[in-house]
A = this chain, B = another copy of it.
Amino acid sequence: MDLRHLRYFVAVAEEENIGRAAARLHISQPPLTRQIQQLEEELGVTLFIRTPRGMELTQAGELFLAEARNIRALVEQATERTQRAGQGKLGRLDVGIFGSAILDAIPKLLLSFRNRYPDVKVVLHTMTKAEQLEALRQRRITVGFNRMLSPLDDIGVRQVSTEGLLVAVQADHPLAHQPVVRFAELAEHPMILFPTGARPSFIDKVIGWATESGFQPHISQEVGDAVTGVALVASGFGVCLVPDSATTLQFPGVVYRTLTDTPPNFFVDLSCIYRKDDQSPLLAAFMETVDAFRAGERKR
C-alpha cells in the first residue's frame, strides 16, 4: 500500500464516482479503477459497492475512509513540522551559561530569540567554562556562554557583547564618598576576585591591568562569581571589580563607582561557543540572533 492509494481512495470515496475522482486527481479513469482494485485486493476487503450510479462505500470502506483521512492529515503535519524543525523554528536548544551571565546579556538575547522562534524550547544549564566545553563535545548543549574564550580546533567563538567595569564598594567605605575612583586607588584596598576554576580567567585580566597600572592587587578572597563577590563586598571583605551589568544587583550596603585613569582594554567581553562542525539550523538561527543582538548593542 502507498500514500497514493490513500489519496485515490479518499477521492473516490468523496466523489462516489471513479470518473469524477479521476478528473479531480488529474489522471484518467482506468488507472484509478486499477489502483482501487489493487487496494481492495491488498486489504482483502471490498471497500466499495459498484452501483450503476457509481461507487458506494461499504461499512469497512467507511471505516477505512476515516483512517485514511487521518493518516493523510498526519503525513501533512509531519512534513510541515519537520520543515519547521529544519529551518530551526521548532525544537530544543540547550544553552550553557555561567553564574553572573544571567545578569544582563543573556536575558535580553534569549528574549529576542524567543520572539523570533517561539516554538523553540530553550533550556539553560549553569556550568563552568570547562564543563561547557565538555558538554558541547558530548552534545549535551548546543551553545555555551562565557568570558575570555579563545577558539579551539573544534570549537568556534562568537562575541556577544562588551562591557565596561565598575568597582563595587561598601556603602560606608572611604571610596564610596568619591563620585569616581581612579583605578590606581584600588591598590590600597583588599580585592575580591572571581571566578575560581579554569585559568586564564577574569582574575588574570584584573591582575594584568593592575600590573600595567603599576601595582600588585591585594587579593582578599577568590569567589565563584560576581554575585558572591558583591555579597562579600556588602560584608566588608573588600572591593570588587564587576562588569557594568552587575549593577542590576542592588545589594543593600553596596554602591558602584565608575573608574577613571583606567589601563587600555579595560573591558570584558561576553562570547558564546559552539561546535564548529554543528550544522544544526537551530544553531544557525541562534547565531543569527546573536549577531543581530550584537549589532544592536554596538549602536547604543
Q: Known: A2-B2, A86-B60. Contact between A79 and B43, CB under 8 A?
A: yes
CB-based contact A60/B3 at 8 Å: no
Q: Is A63 an interface residue (CB 8 A)?
A: yes
CB-based contact A282/B59 at 8 Å: yes
CB-based contact A43/B86 at 8 Å: yes
Q: Known: A86-B46, A86-B60. Contact between A79 and B1, CB under 8 A?
A: yes
Instruction: Give the CA-CA distance A79 to B42 in the complex, in Å.
Output: 9
Q: Is A74 an interface residue (CB 8 A)?
A: yes
CB-based contact A1/B75 at 8 Å: yes
List A81-105 residues whose CB lies under 8 Å from chain B: 81-83, 85-87, 90-92
CB-based contact B1/A1 at 8 Å: no
Residues of B within 8 A of A92 (CB): 59
CB-based contact A82/B60 at 8 Å: yes
B46, B74, B279: the one contacting A67 at CB < 8 Å is: B74
Question: Chain A, interface size: which category?
Answer: 35 or more
Residues of B within 8 A of A26 (CB): none
Q: Is A295 an interface residue (CB 8 A)?
A: no
Q: Is A124 an interface residue (CB 8 A)?
A: no
Q: Which residue of B lies closest to A75 (CB)?
A: B71
23 residue pairs from A and B, CB less than 8 Å apart: A1-B75, A1-B79, A2-B3, A43-B79, A43-B82, A44-B83, A44-B86, A45-B82, A45-B83, A46-B279, A58-B86, A59-B281, A59-B282, A60-B82, A60-B83, A60-B91, A63-B82, A63-B90, A64-B82, A67-B81, A70-B78, A71-B75, A71-B78
**A residues bordering B, Cβ < 8 Å?**
1-4, 43-47, 49, 58-60, 63-64, 67-68, 70-71, 74-75, 77-79, 81-83, 85-87, 90-92, 279-282
